[in-house]
Structure 1
């Protein structure tokens, strides 16, 4: 019982720790929102999307989906478009105006859409989940597999809540707004960099 739990915990933590578009977006929303409750749609959406990816990986369905050339192409294409648009929106956002308006420039619908896009339209994140978590889950059966999947899912939920809280604390300490402005620029650059990386990888693999 303890082995699959700790195995899943360490594995999921290792995958979620590196700086990526999803982490940057969750942290950014935690820092920008005037109240923590306004960041909950992003946190919950990101956590639910990770939960879905983990369950699909453990159940083995994702191996069939990613085995299709056209599914990969569509996934990468749509993912690049979203990343470019999100980067442009983030680059041009103004933290002071957002706080004064007592909300985010992103509507609830846009928050959920963006959070879902950085979670589900990132082929490399999906392939990492499938290749690492999905493959590792093959060693477990029955109750052990359930515990392994639960541990991986738990890491995602705790991580995104914690990351958003850290972002909020950073935003509250920033009285001048300079930190949030710089954070927006860095977030946009990370998103554009991820889009370029996807295109370069696509060209390298299918040229």
Structure 2
């Protein structure tokens, strides 16, 4: 039970804070015409998190982040994506219109955006390496497998839960006012994240 509880608390602690990735998944659940269509974003984020967790525990990503040019490239690309995502979120239409009138993000864009906020966020990568990767060092064999599996299960459950919560909010917030305000708040948080990431290049 020790590696299970450890992995559960650790993964929850890393994934709970309000960030670009969580906001994006939640928004997609709210604005897509069906839960099935919104799953593209939560599935992509879950797969990316699984990849990062496995890389962190296997130690591969530690080698990648040793190269400054690669780290700067990742940050630069991430900043550009975040600025664009902020613009999209700010001007997104609220759900006061019918589903047919709202211009939802295409499947391709959902996947690209989910990839960008998951894999082009160096802080998320460093958190995964520094916390999950280093924490896994205390386990071996079956215990390490349990620890790894628990972190991955928490990730998948959280992102799909966020997507579902966004869908439920859309049904409750029939006026669309809350979702409209959420889009503006999301855009501001995304832009602040881009600024913070840009400062790390200096």
TM-score class normalised by the smaller sequence: over 0.9
Within 2, Cα distance between the matches of 1:98 and 1:61?
47
1:165–1:32 Cα change, 3 Å: same
1:144 matches 2:165 = no
Structure 2 counterpart of 1:56: 55
Within 1, Cα distance between the matches of 2:176 and 2:96?
10
Structure 2 residue matching 1:70: 3-state secondary structure: helix
RMSD: 1.4
Within 1, Cα distance between the matches of 2:97 and 2:143?
46
The gaps in structure 1 that reach 5 residues or longer are none
Shift of 1:143: 1.5
Task: Give the TM-score of the pair, scaled to structure 2.
Answer: 0.96
Structure 1 residue matching 2:175: 3-state secondary structure: coil
Q: Which moved more, 1:44-53 or 1:33-42?
A: 33-42
For these two proteins, the number of residue pairs brought into alignment is 202
Task: Give the TM-score of the pair, scaled to structure 1.
Answer: 0.93
Within 1, Cα distance between the matches of 2:124 and 2:185?
20
Structure 1 counterpart of 2:111: 112
Q: Which 4+ runs in 1 deviate beyond 4 A?
A: none
CA deviations 1:139-168 (Å, max 9, x no partner) are 111211111110000000010111111111
Shift of 1:59: 0.3
The gaps in structure 2 that reach 5 residues or longer are none
